[in-house]
Amino acid sequence: MLNIALPKGRLGDQAHELLSCAGYTGGNLADMGRRLVIENEAAGVRYFLVEPSDVAIYVEHGAADIGIVGKDILEEDRPDVYELLDLKLGKCRMCAAAKKGFYDEARAVLRVATKFTGIAERYYASLGREVDIIKLNGSIELAPLLGLSDVIVDIVESGKTLRDNDLEVIAEIMPISARLIANKVVYQFKSAEISALRDSLEEMTND
């Protein structure tokens, strides 16, 4: 039996659809109601629906054997897990953005508003740029508009929210997509099952 942590929401639904096509269905997730665990003994899988940012925590601590998680969360939290496959789902970009026409003269400490403080810190450290990181939990685009920050670091999907708020991408930090992760200890004991699942998913994502 493989214990799989799936993120609640659209990415979890897409991932489950992919897993179902590969023969690992947990049934109809829409019928789950408030249940957070669903099991399909015949397919050898048990799914847990958890907050997207908690998937890697469940896997790292061995509560789930494997999980599906965004690369943004892996880069931010750096959990000690195996990253077995790029599922090519939920594709977007981690970007730095600012008000249109913004130019960083590097005269003063750059104020950066973001939910992804680790990614922002490492990115600006790699550029040798001194920054003041302001941690926000949502509506990041508001920060430069209100003068709270000079730039933001956030996930950009279509770019519509940026355009609607007169902001633009000033740098692309990294591409983001969903990844299949595994607990390092569990992998040693269930490597055949996990590899079989990984290989089926790889075959499907390569189509």
Partner 1 sequence: MDNLLDILSPGELTALRLRALFEQRGYRRYHPGRFEEYRFYLENQSFLKNERFITFNDLDGRLMALKPDLTLSIVKNVDTAGGQKKLYYMENVYRPNATGRNFTEISQMGLECLGRVGRAETNEVVRLAYESLKLTGEPFRLSLSHLRYLAGLMRNLRLPLHCRSALYENIAAKNPHGLREVAKAAGLSDEGTVMLEKASMLSGAASEVLKEAKRLCRNAEMERAVAQLEQAIGGIDDPSVLIDFSIRGDEDYYSGLMLCGYLQGKSRIVLSGGEYDNMMKKMGQTGRAIGFAIYLDELCGR
Residues that bind partner 1 (CB under 8 A): 60-63, 80-86, 182-185, 187-189, 191
| CA angle centred on 79, ends 156 and 200, rounded to 5° | 75
Residues in Cβ contact with 115 at an 8 Å cutoff, skipping those fewer than 6 apart: 135, 136, 137, 138, 140, 154
Least distance in angstroms from the C-beta of 61 to partner 1: 5
Task: Say whether 133 sits in a helix, a strand or coil.
Answer: strand
Considering the complex, state which of residue 23 and residue 62 has its C-beta at the smaller distance from partner 1: 62
91 vs 100, which CB is nearer to partner 1?
A: 91
Q: How far is the CB of 71 from partner 1 (least distance, A)?
A: 10
Closest to partner 1 by CB, 23 vs 118, is 118
CB of 89 to partner 1, least distance (A): 13
CB atoms within 10 A of CB 118: 13
Q: Whole-number minimum distance, CB 8 to partner 1, in Å?
A: 23
DSSP 8-class letter at 75: H
- What minimum distance in Å lies between the beta carbon of 98 and partner 1? 27
Is the CB of 26 or the CB of 70 nearer to partner 1? 70
Beta bridge partners of 132: 111
Tokens of 131: 């920054």
Cα four-point dihedral sign 7, 11, 180, 17: positive
Report in angstroms how near the CB of residue 181 gets to partner 1 at its nearest: 9
Closer CB to partner 1, residue 73 or residue 81?
A: 81
Residue type, 38: I
Distance from first CA to last CA of the chain, Å, rounded?
A: 27
Q: Which C-beta is closer to partner 1: that of 59 or that of 98? A: 59
Do the Cβ atoms of 151 and 144 come closer than 8 Å? yes
